[in-house]
Every structure is written in C-alpha cells, then in structure tokens.
Structure 1
C-alpha cells in the first residue's frame, strides 16, 4: 500500500529530535512494521518520538492540520489498517525507573514488559506482565492487560497510579484518580482513544516464589484433559493461574521436538506460593492423560515467558476472543467439535484462560475494563502468511465465535478482540454503559476524532 494523500507542511515538525519520515524514505518501512505482520500500515508521515516533547510537538501539528493519528510501540496489536495520517512511534522511549521503597515503576511509552521486569529484578520485585514480556507495557495496560498472574493480582490497569498523557489538542497532562478521574478512567481499559500516553507509574509485585510452565498431552486426549482441567480449575485457590489450550504447532525448527508439527492439549500453570504446594495441586492435571512434555519448574518474575512460551519473532497472525460466564457440558462439546481431535481447524491455538479471583474484583477506582464477570476467556490465534491462510483462519474464527456465542457474555476483551470491524463490532469490547462513557470522554478530549485508527471509539453526537 502506498500513501498518496496530500500532506500539510511539515515545517512545524522540524524541531522533533527523532526521525520524521515519509513513504520512500530510508527507515520508513522498518518504522511502520510491527510485531504482528498482518497489519497494513501506510501513514503519510512517521514521527519516531524520542521523548515526551516530540509527542507534544507531533500532536500539536496533527491538531493544527486535522491529521489523524496512530500510535505504535511494539506493534503486537498491529492487526488493522493505517492508511494515511500520522504514525507516532514510541519505540525509542524505553526508559524504566524503579522506586523500590514505593514499590513502583515509571514506565516510558515504548518500554516492553521485559524492560520493566529486568529493572525490577534486582529489588526482588515483579510486574503484571502478560504472556509475552516482549509486549509494550503501556499499550497492553491501556487495554486493561490480562497478566500471567492475573487471578492472584488482578489486571495490569488495576496497579496504575498515574499517567502522563498528551491529549489530542497537544496538552500534556498528569492524570490520576484524584486530579482527572474521568480521563484516568478512560485510559484504564479504553485503549488509546483519548490521548497518547508518554509514561505511566504502576505498582509492582512483592517478592514471591513462583512455579510455572506447561504440561503437554497428545491431542487425542483433549476431551479428557479439558474436562479434568475444568473440574480442577474451579477448585484451586486464586494463587493458581492457569489455561487450557488446543495447539496445532507448525513444523518449524524453533519449536522443540517432540512438539514440532503436532497436535497437543496443553495446560499451563503459574503458582505464587510454596513450590511444593503448587506441585501437589497440579497432580490431578498431570494424571489426566499420558504426558509428553512437562516444563513446569520454579521461576522468577523475569522468566514467566516460559509459562506460555509464545513466539518471540514477528509473524502475521489474527486472533479473536469470547468471554464466557462459565463453560457448560454443551459449551465444551461445541468447542471440541470446532477445534478438538478430528476437527479440520487451521487455528494454531485455541485457548481457555481461567479468570476469576482478583480478576473478578472491582477496581479500587472506576475503570473501563469489562471482563470482570467472565469465568473464562476463549481466545483463538491463527498464523496468516498468505491470503489463502487468512481466509481459512477468518472462516474458522467466525465459525468458532458463532458456535460459542450462545454460551458467551456477548463481550470481548479489547486487547484480544482481533481486527476491529465496524462500530458495532468494536463496541463489543465494552458494556453499553462503558461504551457510552468512552464516547462522552472522546467528545471531551478528542472531538475531531484524530485518534481514529485501530480499536477506535467515535465521539458521542453533539
């Protein structure tokens, strides 16, 4: 895709410390390419921001010229189209500052969770990172953030103390629950609809002993393992975090034998507490069927990537999710019919994450996370290296969503929603009340709808 739009005068961007690029410039392609290669990003202008001042300048230029704005740090959520406009890349803004006494981290817009975990490790502290520490901490948190240790500690957004954000009029604001509660609420679960966050201050986790990893069973035992896991996960304490997955792994050299190229039922677990007690609790799961590979071991916070073992290199992928209030026997049959043994399923991972625990408790102050009533989150991921694969994954995803819809809450989680469609589709990430609130906040802070790419919420009508 090549941008052909008329671009306003760029002189006002000449004071930016980072690169300012147009299509065809050296470095442009690298700047717009994110981790998820399925997105189509072709902005008219890219600003490689090096700090807050660059973001302020870029946003003031966008406001003055009416130029729409997209933001990207790592591009894990780059599953949509950016055709024209301005892309602000925050990938250079990777600073992390730890206050061990306050047990907080000040995290710049482009920092990955890996940076936060590495900075916190010397103090014995952890953070509410997700299943891959390569994901950008700020963008993940703006969508609520579903952590590996979520049942124990809640959503990543629950630990945010404050944001530094540039609103679409170019104003730099320090936002917390006391100072600007409406904006603070919109930023905690509403994605980037009301501003460009340049940093956040978030709470850290206390020192803890961890046990985690994955137990892999031959896929033919998927039904038995799933039903065993469901009975088990409903009884374990919230210090046990877990998920069940149906994995169809490609024959790639980076996937270890004997898992490479096979179909597997996998249970992952992350336990915060005495490792011996965690091992005891896992015994019924391990006994469900013959185990092929078991990676469960003692971990520290910085090594929690080993729990889900997600891909580390960029790839084109499509994902979707369904929130479930519970999982009935009929729902289990529907899931196995679509993705279990014998199913012609092109999806590489179909996974049920156990929710509940701290994920079900209300936030200390109002937010826009709408997954607290869910008992399970069903997510599906397919790799789409070519148009034929993309069509197959899209059809399989639609079929799975349709089959599971009668058992769902009707909502998704914005970070795992997948490629945003029309407005009714995008609205499914929030309840009607929360969506109306976000539309109101959008009208207050971004009435011109400059932040209109990706999972955008339109401003309420005047």
Structure 2
C-alpha cells in the first residue's frame, strides 16, 4: 500500500467521527460541510492529501481552529484539510525567531517564548490558530509597537497544488512570501511559519468595567488619552451586553457595561516603572469618572495578556461585522453609542473600538502585501443568535451600526477581523490584488485552492 492509498482511506465522509473532528469550527453559526475531510498531522500527510485530491478532482480548502469560518465562503464540496501538525514550537532565542507548525495555537507560542523573555504579536485569545491570524494581518495588543502581526512572519513553508513542499522567505521566493502575508489565501496548505519575536519583561494588562450609564464620558476620556498614547500601549473600548451564564460575574450581566482593556508593555526591567506610569495615566482618568464594577488590570508577565480580553474558550455561534474608522470625534462617538450603547436596543453582545495608529500605520519594507492599516480605530461587533435574538436580528443591527458609522468608514478592512463572508471586505487595492493573483496563478495554475480565497481578495473575483 503506497502513501496515496493510506491517505485515501483517511479521507473521512460525513457522519463519521474523523469527519466531525476535521470539520469542527469555533464559530458554530458558520459550520462547514465539505464532501470529504482529513486531519493532517504531518507534512507527508498534507502532501499525500493534496495529491490525492488532485487525482479525484477535488478542490481543497484549509483551516485550523475554524475561528474565521464565518468570513469565508461556504464549504459545500471538495476536500477540507484541517492542519494539526506535530513537532511543537521551536524557539531560537538568539535570533528571536519562533518556528511554529500549522495547527499551533497562540497559547502554545506564548508559553514557549516566555521563558526566553520574548513575546509574539498574538491575538486576544490563546486558543486562536497562529497561521490564519498571521496571514490575515493580525491586530495585536502589542500592535502599536510591532505593527500588523503579518509583518513579523519571516518564512512560510507550504504544500502547493502539485503536492510539493516549498519554502518562501526573503531569499527563496520572496514574491510568494510577500503575497502570502495578507494576500487572502488560495496558495496552498501552510505547514509551518517562522515569525520574529520581541523582548518583553513585564506587561500591565487587564480590563476595567463600568455601568454603560457612564459610557459617554468614559469614551471621551479613553479617546483623548489614546491620541497621545505611547506605542507600547494598545487598548480597546467595548460596550458589552453579557448574558447571565457561568463564567460571567453577576455584576457584569446585570445590564450593559463599558470595558477598557489592553496592554502596556516593558521591553526590559528598566522600563517597568514607565509602563506602569503610562497605564496609571489612563486608568486614573477613567476610574475618577465612575466607580468600576470590576477591575483586573495588573502588572504581570506576557502570558497575562491572553487573559485580559476574557474571550470565550468554548465554541459559540456568532454573527458580526467589522470596519475601519478614520477618526472618533464627538459626532462619531455619539453615533457609535446611539446604536450600541444603553437604550439602543442593540442585540450585540460586544461592540469594540480598537486603538490603532502607531506602528499599525507604518509601512514595513519587510512586510507583505498588507503591511499597514491606514485608520485610527477598528470597529468589531458581534453577538450570538441565542434565545429571542435571531440571526436576522443580528444581521439587521450590523447594518444599522454600519450605516451610523458610514461617515467615518475608510472602506477598508483587516482580514483577520472580518466576521462574515457577506460583509464588505476590501483590504487591498486593485493593483495589489492583481499582483497577488499572478503569484496564485504561478503556484496553483489549475486553481485547486480557488475556493480558499477570501471574498474580495482577488482582482478576478
């Protein structure tokens, strides 16, 4: 029995446990139902699966944790490959490089890097997959210092449509490396990435919650601080309608709340006092406006950043939207709170404004096709279709929020923040999309991975 035979028997069909394992997604509102599925645990298994898909004439889709399943077109046919490659994170502390197999989550990277005094530009949740987040841009709580997380990627290993393993770095196929970072997928199956780390000694991180009755002065104070904030501080303001479920403190589920969370980091022990002072500048101005319901900000190590946002750890259904805002003046602040704040009737569980600027706005010569964000704030809003709240209710309110914020909408998005395949998506101009399509045509001439391209990520789409 050859390698193709082994993988052919491993292709799982609907109604089997291996199929359910391979197709599991974090966003339960966006299930995937391919014709066949496989969980690949080695490069050899990926190569054989891709080759077998070619023999059978099956298009190929790829995912890891399924957090972004709602942002991609429905998987109605073909082969879905779930990457769970073995080997673990390898840290080269001297070069400050982490080699990360596909299928690894950010929690694993943080744990591996921390003993070396290093950190990565990860997302807010430790259970999110590394590869999809990185190649989709990545907006980190370190991002005003590091820029988009995609800029930290120094090499990508992937299996192309012919089943061959290739490496893309600054020397070997720099054009492919450029297109992979923010290009929107459709190049092959990524099996590993190498990313640059940076030193972190301590982090002041956490979240403070207030009654939403104080939303307007809190938003103003946070916005005014954000305009002059140091690059080692990245924060967000959220309006939340949390349900009374296990894990949510009763004080936070009694009514809508406003939360300010984020991170201010110190690269060396000598900078810890300055990081604490910067965080205190923000928090003192906010705490003086109203008594917090809950306050978790503290000086901690890099792993503490993964706990600050308090994201759900179990899969949930959610429907949401995302756009980038050019500014947040008084009119924009009023518009935002009128559609998500107290008394708005919003069914969204969370509506977030993420502070951008700093290194997010800087073009990076070593970055990919998407290497900067020309916006002041990112908006993300979502909620689960639970109880009396339906998917239609959430979709309708997403449209209401979008209309209210339209005067400040830049028209661009960050792929890793998009929640719905039917939402407006535009992160590259036509010239960049055309250039990326040329790279896709080179590595996938028969368009085996065409269904894996994010909406709006191709000039031909």
**Structure 2 Cα separation of the partners of residues 454 and 175 of structure 1:** 19
TM alignment of 1:115-264, pairs within 5 A? 115-264=108-257
For residues 150 and 35 of structure 1, what CA distance do their matches in structure 2 show?
A: 24
Matches within 5 A, 1:404-419: 404-419=405-420
Contact 1:371 1:413 in 2 (8 A): no
Instruction: Tell me: CA distance 1:61–1:120, structure 2 relative to 1, closer, same or farther (3 Å).
Output: same
Give runs of aligned pairs for residues 230-379 of structure 1, distance below 5 A.
230-273=223-266, 274=272, 275-282=275-282, 283-369=284-370, 371-379=372-380
Give a deviation string over 1:359-395, Cα, whole Å, max 9, x none.
1111232522265211110111111247952111111
Match of 1:53 in 2: 44
Asked whether the 8 Å contact 1:193–1:457 carries over to 2, the reply is no
Cα deviation 1:120-147 (Å, max 9, x = unaligned): 1222221111011110011110101111
Give the CA deviation at 1:93. Answer: 3.8
5 Å-filtered alignment, 1:418-457, equals 418-421=419-422, 425-426=424-425, 428-451=426-449, 452-453=451-452, 455-456=454-455
CA RMSD of aligned residues (A): 2.3
Farther off after superposition, 216-225 or 360-369 = 360-369
- Paired with 1:460 and 1:346, the residues of 2 have a C-alpha distance of 35
1:31 paired residue among 22, 26, 41: 22
Pair 1:347–1:110, CA change in 2 (3 A): same
> What CA distance in whole angstroms lies between the structure 2 residues aligned with 1:412 and 1:346?
23
Return the offset for 1:193: 2.1
**Paired residue total:** 450
TM-score normalised by the chain length of structure 2: 0.92
Deviation by residue 1:324-373 (Cα, 9 ceiling, x = unmatched): 12122221121111111210100011100000111111123252226521
> Cα distance, 1:53 vs. partner?
1.2
1:84, 1:281 → 2: CA distance?
54
> Which ranges of structure 2 fall in alignment gaps of 5 or more residues?
267-271
DSSP 3-state at the match of 2:175 = helix
Whole-Å separation in 2 of the counterparts to 1:371 and 1:219: 33
CA–CA separation in structure 1 for the residues paired with 2:310 and 2:439? 38
Between the aligned partners of 1:277 and 1:47, the Cα distance in structure 2 is 50
Question: Which residue does 1:74 correspond to in 2?
Answer: 65
Q: In 2 relative to 1, CA 237–53 (structure 1 residues): closer, same or farther, beyond 3 Å?
A: same
d(CA) in 2 for partners of 1:17, 1:206: 45
Contact 2:36 2:78 in 1 (8 A): yes
Give the Cα–Cα distance (whole angstroms) in 2 for the partners of residues 166 and 101 of structure 1.
Answer: 29
Conserved 8 A contact 1:46-1:86: yes
Q: Tell me what 2:269 maps to.
A: none
Q: 2:88 corresponds to which residue? A: 95
Whether the 8 Å contact between 2:186 and 2:453 is mirrored in structure 1 is: no
Deviation at 1:91, TM superposition (A): 2.7
Once the 2 structures are TM-superposed, how far is the Cα of residue 28 of structure 1 from its aligned partner? 1.8
Q: 1:307 to 1:18 in 2, by over 3 A?
A: farther
CA deviation map 1:271-310 (0-9, x unaligned): 1132531343222122232221111001211221222111
1:7 matched residue in structure 2: none
1:42 aligns with 2:36: no
**1: CA distance, partners of 2:435 / 2:109:** 31
